[in-house]
Amino acid sequence: MMKQFINAKIYTVDANCSVADCMVIEANKIIFIGKQHEFQSTDEIEIINCLGKCIYPGFIDPHCHFIDLGRTYFTAALHTTNSFDEVIEKVKSFQETNTREWLVGRGWNNNNWADKQLPTKEVLDILFPNTPVFLVRIDSHVALINQTAIDRSKVLQQSFIDEGFIEMKDGKATGIVYDKAMFYMLPFVQENDTVKKQIILKAQEICIAFGLTSVGDAFMEHPDFKLFQSMYEEDSLKIKLFGMFVPSKENKDFLSQNKGYKKGKFMINATKHFADGALGSRGAALLEPYTDDPLNKGLLLESDEYWNEEAQFCIDHNLQMITHCIGDAANERIIQLYKKYLKGKNERRWRIEHVQILPNYLLQEFSNNQIIPSVQSTHGTSDYTWAKDRLGDNRMKTAYRIKDLLEECGMIVNGSDFPIEKPNPLRGFYAGITRKDDNGQPAFGFDPSQKITRIEALKSMTIWAAYAQFQEKEIGSLEVHKHADFVISATDLLTCKEEDILHTSIDATYVDGELVFSRKPSLS
Ligand SMILES: [Zn+2]
């Protein structure tokens, strides 16, 4: 049956950003949008009175880690800890409910501690002498493990760990492992499919309650792809998923045979790469040394051979190349690579994720080669207090410049990178327009020249995000023939007080015309 939503303020985000008061949907599509008196039908129709509430296109988080979000409920969540002692307390209390053999925690950030040193494993060895402990830092590039984890994973027996290492002091392991050395823990901490399904459903539950109807999963491995496929088949997964494939052999074999994948709500069209690490742990690759670590420039990942092979693979199979670049050296390297293969204006929509430090001379290359900047406005407002220590004042001027990128390219896509940041997409909206953190700091915004407008912020999480996923003809705006993915809320994001944005509550979320989340039992 058709459904007619009346008495609404509908932000269509169409080409004119027009506002409508009535929308009619049938099955999974929008069949009318405009003024209520303009719609006539003799068919049976269900009328939903929105009582003046606002309707927005379903929110899209174009860069996130979907399973990791659910996983934060199955692992000790350490994101809010302000000291290593607090980490220990959380891990101890998590152990009481933990049903897994390994004790896994995620999200600690030594930059938030008074003593900013990386921790060592001694306390873990005393408290957990028989339980392997694996505590992943917020950026997923560093972890702290205890002696039992070292013994079980046999990570010390590896004579050479490609692009990762285990830290040693006086011939002893400190418990800190970097990048690919962490892979030796994975066989022990990976979940079976039943657990993983629970994790995925938890992630979905959280996302749809924040109005997310589509998410871009920025690190999809083949077994997860298969699991997602089966969950779509059994219709337990309602949210739409755009997968960026890890360039593993299995994934690449699949892509070269199928030239991507699209079925219902699920699409794969890209491979995801890492050019460097994160700024917090000084893994971001910089052209000049870190201001607070003069012998260190971070680390560029992978070889020229790797990059050329991967770029050629994407060209050959008409795939989108998506690369994580934080530091200026990483951005420079990948922009040069993209330039070589894209050769100026093109329709390939290759993306750079984060684009955190970008000198002026690289800015124009984005528009010259139509590279899409995929940023997180919340990263700037989360990092600004310590990022200047890493970069110094001058380089700081080239960091987190989302307005400059928007003006250069005509668009940005804005994601959260959850669970690094919280999954509420309106935090990104708020940070984008205010350049403030959740506590309203700094008072005038961090580098206020980089504020974007409300409509730009909305587009960056709807129509522009859809474009970056090759889905702008289906989702991202509310127009006739498009999918009925939308969100209803009493808060008018385009006119409300800035402070109210973070407290916005979503009343209902629809995906393909189906009500998948409702805060109250009934709207009408
Ligand atoms: Zn990410």
Q: How far is the CA of 148 from the centre of ligand 1 (A)?
A: 29
Q: How far is the CA of 65 from the centre of ligand 1 (A)?
A: 6
Q: How far is the CA of 370 from the centre of ligand 1 (A)?
A: 21
Q: How far is the CA of 37 from the centre of ligand 1 (A)?
A: 46
Q: How far is the CA of 417 from the centre of ligand 1 (A)?
A: 5
Q: How far is the CA of 117 from the centre of ligand 1 (A)?
A: 24
Rounded Cα distance between 128 and 14, Å, is 56
Q: How far is the CA of 71 from the centre of ligand 1 (A)?
A: 15
The pairs formed by 185-188 with CB atoms below 8 angstroms and a separation of 24 or more are: 185/102, 185/134, 185/143, 185/145, 185/149, 185/153, 185/155, 188/101, 188/102, 188/132, 188/134, 188/149, 188/152, 188/153
Q: How far is the CA of 85 from the centre of ligand 1 (A)?
A: 27
Q: How far is the CA of 373 from the centre of ligand 1 (A)?
A: 14
Give the confidence band of 317 by pLDDT, cuts at 50, 70, 90: very high
Q: How far is the CA of 379 from the centre of ligand 1 (A)?
A: 11
Q: How far is the CA of 20 from the centre of ligand 1 (A)?
A: 35
Which parts of 191-252 are beta strand (E)?
212-220, 240-245
What are the residues facing 266 on neighbouring strands? 241, 263
Interval 440-452: pLDDT, tens: 999 999 999 999 9
Q: How far is the CA of 387 from the centre of ligand 1 (A)?
A: 18
Interval 341-364: pLDDT, tens: 999 999 999 999 999 999 999 999
Q: How far is the CA of 59 from the centre of ligand 1 (A)?
A: 18
| 205 token code pair | 């539950």
Helix (H) or strand (E) holding 323: strand 320-325
Q: How far is the CA of 116 from the centre of ligand 1 (A)?
A: 23
Average pLDDT over residues 112-137: 95
Predicted local confidence at residue 54, as pLDDT: 98
Say if residues 419 and 107 touch (Cβ distance below 8 Å): yes
Say if residues 6 and 49 touch (Cβ distance below 8 Å): yes
Predicted local confidence at residue 78, as pLDDT: 93
Q: How far is the CA of 136 from the centre of ligand 1 (A)?
A: 14
Q: How far is the CA of 352 from the centre of ligand 1 (A)?
A: 11
Poorest-pLDDT segment among 187-201, 390-404, 413-427, 504-518:
187-201
Q: How far is the CA of 63 from the centre of ligand 1 (A)?
A: 6
Interval 192-235: pLDDT, tens: 888 899 899 999 999 999 999 999 999 999 999 999 999 999 99
Q: How far is the CA of 107 from the centre of ligand 1 (A)?
A: 13
Q: How far is the CA of 2 from the centre of ligand 1 (A)?
A: 39
- Whether pLDDT at 523 is above 50: no
Judging by beta carbons within 10 Å of its beta carbon (0-12, 13-18, 19+), is residue 45 exposed, middle or buried?
A: middle
Among 389, 354, 396, 391, smallest CA distance to 375 is for 354
Q: How far is the CA of 424 from the centre of ligand 1 (A)?
A: 15
Among 291, 299, 282, smallest CA distance to 389 is for 291
Q: How far is the CA of 428 from the centre of ligand 1 (A)?
A: 15
Rounded Cα distance between 471 and 270, Å, is 13
Predicted local confidence at residue 438, as pLDDT: 94
Q: Which domains does the chain have, with CATH numbers?
A: 2-58+482-518 (2.30.40.10), 75-189 (3.10.310.70), 193-468 (3.20.20.140)
Rounded Cα distance between 68 and 105, Å, is 11
Q: How far is the CA of 101 from the centre of ligand 1 (A)?
A: 27
Q: How far is the CA of 279 from the centre of ligand 1 (A)?
A: 13
| pTM of the predicted structure, to 2 decimals | 0.84
Residue type, 14: D
Cβ neighbours of residue 47 closer than 8 Å, sequence gap 6 or more:
3, 4, 6, 524
Q: How far is the CA of 218 from the centre of ligand 1 (A)?
A: 6
Q: How far is the CA of 377 from the centre of ligand 1 (A)?
A: 13
- Whether pLDDT at 429 is above 80: yes
Q: How far is the CA of 275 from the centre of ligand 1 (A)?
A: 12
Rounded Cα distance between 303 and 295, Å, is 22
Q: How far is the CA of 391 from the centre of ligand 1 (A)?
A: 21
Interval 100-123: pLDDT, tens: 789 999 999 999 999 899 999 999
Q: How far is the CA of 321 from the centre of ligand 1 (A)?
A: 15
